[in-house]
Amino acid sequence: MEKNYSCDCEVIHEEAVNEVRSQLLSKDEYIGLASLYKLFGDATRMQLLHALSQREMCVCDLAVLLGVTKSAVSHQLKALRLSNLVKFRRDGQIVYYSLADDHVKLIIEMGLEHINE
Amino acid sequence: MEKNYSCDCEVIHEEAVNEVRSQLLSKDEYIGLASLYKLFGDATRMQLLHALSQREMCVCDLAVLLGVTKSAVSHQLKALRLSNLVKFRRDGQIVYYSLADDHVKLIIEMGLEHINE
DNA sequence: CTCTTTGTTGAACGATTGTTCAACTGTATT
DNA sequence: AATACAGTTGAACAATCGTTCAACAAAGAG
């Protein structure tokens, strides 16, 4: 009997693999999930999100708070915006950013829970 | 009056910055949070975690399921192990991995919620 | 209009990441 | 002891990422 897997081993528990395979999400869903959490996977962005979880802030304030350039903040905010994690409003020259919904707070809290165990 | 920030702009709302600054976590906490979520920020690891959220599986089965080498799976599982996201038990030659706690399931569910909006 | 300041953008660069490959360990079988 | 298979490990490589810099847009002030 011929097997042709793209991996370098045989199936040990075929019924387990089939059972789980039927429950898997689509490739795109995993990519979407990963893209979302990738944004939480950088200390600067995490700090940015945590700051915004407390109040709306402008780019300049965020730059001062984190001690990085406006450019760096702006680049990161753009990424967060594209994934609908933050929203913004413009008032004159100043652009105020805030969290788009409550998921961010929950995700940060859950992460802290896991770490403090 | 002399200001000396490491960023390239003035403080626009000093009281906002001070208020948020007093609530910030430590640098290490942000690094810890980011390191945790970085692990969810890759489609392969996400698939791995989602598979394990359904049942305990061995390295070989996971490799077949994802269509990658045992080596790749093992490298990723090691990273997940070091952050206490998965645990393992050995039975003879075979090493069975499973989720270390319920946080992983919750995090995946919350991510799916955010995406489906 | 000119000047100043906030914010955005794209290119460039070094740093980090994920996979593969090859060599290795550990356990069981003969 | 020799073989076979599950799993781990480290080096190497391409790909991705985060920051900086310089140039630019957008808005207000003189």
In this prediction, residue A8 carries a pLDDT of: 65
Residue A75 lies in a domain: yes
Residue A61 lies in a domain: yes
In this prediction, residue A101 carries a pLDDT of: 92
Residue A83 lies in a domain: yes
Predicted TM-score (pTM) of this structure: 0.90
Say which residue the tokens 């045989």 belong to: A10
Say which residue the tokens 């165990």 belong to: A117
Those residues whose C-beta lies under 8 Å from the C-beta of residue A58, and which sit 6 or more positions away, are A94, A95, A96, A97, B12, B13
B82 reaches A (C-beta below 8 A):
no
Residue A10 lies in a domain: no
Mutate one of A4, A10, A13 to test the B interface: name it (highest B CB count within 10 A): A13
B28-51 pLDDT tens trace = 999 999 999 999 999 999 999 999
In this prediction, residue B12 carries a pLDDT of: 80
Kindly state the average pLDDT of the residues A89-104. 95
Domain range enclosing A92: 42-115
Burial B4-29 (b: 16+ CB within 10 A, else e): eeebebebbbeebbeebeeeeeeeeb
A11-21 pLDDT tens trace = 788 999 999 99
Are residues B50 and B98 in contact, defined by beta-carbon separation less than 8 angstroms?
A: no
The chain B residue lying nearest A95, using CA atoms, is B12
For A15, half-sphere exposure in the C-beta direction (CA atoms, 13 angstrom radius) is 0
DSSP code at position B6 = S
The yes-or-no verdict on residue B117 having pLDDT over 80 is yes
Residue A15 lies in a domain: no
Kindly report the number of other CB atoms within 10 A of residue B107's CB atom.
26
Residue A35 lies in a domain: no
A45 reaches B (C-beta below 8 A):
yes
B63-112 pLDDT tens trace = 999 999 999 999 999 999 999 999 999 999 999 999 999 999 999 999 99
The yes-or-no verdict on residue A4 having pLDDT over 90 is no
Residues in chain A within 8 Å Cβ distance of B68 = 6-7
The answer to whether B103 contacts A115, with C-beta atoms less than 8 Å apart, is: no
In this prediction, residue A12 carries a pLDDT of: 81
Residue B30 lies in a domain: no
The yes-or-no verdict on residue B5 having pLDDT over 50 is no
Task: Give the Å distances, CA to CA, from A6 to A20, A24, A25, A53, B74.
Answer: 18, 18, 20, 44, 16
- In three-state form (DSSP H/G/I as H, E/B as E, the rest C), the secondary structure along B16-61 is HHHHHHCCCCCHHHHHHHHHHHHCCCCHHHHHHHHHHCCCCEEHHH
- Number of folded domains that form chain B: 1
Alpha carbon of B97: minimum distance to chain A alpha carbons (Å): 13
CATH assignment at residue B93: 1.10.10.10
In this prediction, residue B2 carries a pLDDT of: 35
Residue B103 lies in a domain: yes
The yes-or-no verdict on residue A6 having pLDDT over 60 is no
Segment (H or E) for B78: helix B70-82
Kindly state the average pLDDT of the residues A35-49. 98
Alpha carbon of B46: minimum distance to chain A alpha carbons (Å): 6
- Strand order across the A86-91 sheet: A57-58, A94-99, A86-91
Looking at the DSSP bridge assignments, the partners of residue A57 are A97
Give burial (CB, 10 Å; 0-12/13-18/19+) of A76. Answer: buried
Are residues B114 and A36 in contact, defined by beta-carbon separation less than 8 angstroms?
A: yes
